[in-house]
């Protein structure tokens, strides 16, 4: 176990040599990887902030149930109490006919309501669903339509569907960018590793002559690939933070114009850990394939 740890520690120290010997080239490579990481991560952060902003301004999702004309106020209130205990309903508000006509008069329609022989409005229930996605609201509306007291159900989910569609589109874009730029990250690392192997060709040949295995030769390059992916992930995170800092002032001006405050949020600790871990894995994978292919080519030329 001690020998195994010693070998890995030696490989890790060897992997750090390029960072010391060619810091400028390593920095530029890390920046290129950082840009590849920052694009999907930045879009993900932007979507998260837009979703928070939409959550603060979107209207409450409500389902309006108009009761039949023969349903009296006690029956309506009893139905409201029963629906209030439903697991899919967060809140129920009962609006009597009298309250409904009073609201019309408050809106400036008193001249119209005064000419009516009797109050034509039904008792109404306004329900706030616990889940505001279109599928859950449609399911609740279908259940309400089946009630014997139900006359008509109004369900306005257009804004919910539009918001959900936009968020789904954004998530698809994040996934596509992540896949494409993840391949780019692995390719950048693979190309860097390939160049390092050719630059150390004589050293590798001597190591083989004295009995070094391919695993021993490969290990420092794999560590370097993982470290380069980690540094690139950190660079990408720094670019995202820089972008947020640059636009935060403009966002606050817009928010202030609407009498609100909207601080931008970056990546959380868990999200950052996932990004850095994926960057390391992609760097390691790029190094793994590059080392195997390049060492086989070198071996065939000997």
Q: Which pLDDT value is given to residue 160?
A: 64
pLDDT per position as a tens digit, 161-170: 676 677 777 7
Q: Which pLDDT value is given to residue 106?
A: 62
Per-residue tokens: 29: 């490579």
Q: What is the DSSP letter of 61?
A: P
In order of their start, the domains of the chain are: 7-57+162-301 (no CATH), 63-156 (3.30.70.3040)
Q: Which helix (H) or strand (E) holds 93?
A: strand 89-95
Contact yes or no for 96/103 (Cβ under 8 A): no
Contact yes or no for 287/193 (Cβ under 8 A): yes
pLDDT per position as a tens digit, 109-163: 555 555 555 565 778 888 888 877 777 778 888 888 888 888 888 776 666 667 6
User: Which residues are registered as beta bridge partners of 129?
Assistant: 89
Place of tokens 């070094």: 212
Q: Is 156 helix (H, G, I), strand (E, B) or coil?
A: coil
DSSP letter for each residue of 225-276:
HHHHHHHHHHHHHHHHHHHHHHHHHHHHHHHHHTT---------HHHHHHHH
Q: Which pLDDT value is given to residue 209?
A: 66
Contact yes or no for 71/94 (Cβ under 8 A): no
Place of tokens 């089946």: 146
Q: What is the pTM of this model?
A: 0.61
Per-residue tokens: 288: 């793994």
Intervals of the chain under pLDDT 50? 56-57
């Amino acid at each position: 176990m001690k020998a195994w740890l010693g070998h890995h520690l030696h490989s890790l120290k060897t992997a750090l040599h390029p960072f010391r010997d060619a810091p400028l080239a390593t920095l530029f490579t890390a920046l290129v990887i950082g840009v590849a990481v920052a694009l999907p991560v930045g879009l993900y952060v932007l979507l998260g902030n837009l979703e928070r902003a939409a959550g603060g301004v979107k209207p409450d999702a409500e389902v309006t149930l108009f009761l039949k004309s023969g349903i009296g106020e006690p029956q309506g209130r009893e139905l409201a109490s029963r629906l209030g205990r439903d697991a899919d309903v967060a809140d129920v508000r009962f609006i009597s006919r009298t309250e409904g006509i009073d609201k019309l008069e408050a809106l400036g329609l008193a001249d119209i309501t005064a000419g009516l022989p009797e109050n034509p409005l039904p008792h109404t229930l306004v329900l706030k669903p616990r889940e505001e996605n279109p599928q859950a609201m449609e399911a609740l509306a279908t259940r309400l339509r089946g009630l014997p007291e139900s006359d008509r159900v109004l369900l306005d989910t257009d804004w919910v569907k539009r918001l959900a569609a936009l968020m789904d589109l954004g998530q698809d874009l994040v996934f596509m960018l992540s896949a494409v730029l993840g391949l780019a990250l692995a390719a950048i690392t693979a190309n860097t590793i390939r160049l390092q192997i050719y630059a150390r060709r004589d050293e590798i040949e001597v190591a083989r002559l004295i009995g070094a295995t391919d695993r021993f030769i490969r290990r420092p390059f794999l560590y370097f690939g993982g470290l380069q992916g980690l540094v690139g992930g950190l660079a990408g995170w720094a670019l995202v933070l820089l972008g947020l800092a640059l636009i935060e002032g403009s966002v606050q001006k817009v928010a202030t114009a609407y009498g609100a405050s909207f601080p931008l949020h970056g990546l959380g600790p868990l999200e950052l850990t996932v990004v850095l871990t994926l960057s390391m894995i992609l760097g390691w994978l790029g190094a793994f394939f590059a080392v195997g292919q390049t060492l086989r080519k070198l071996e065939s030329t000997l």
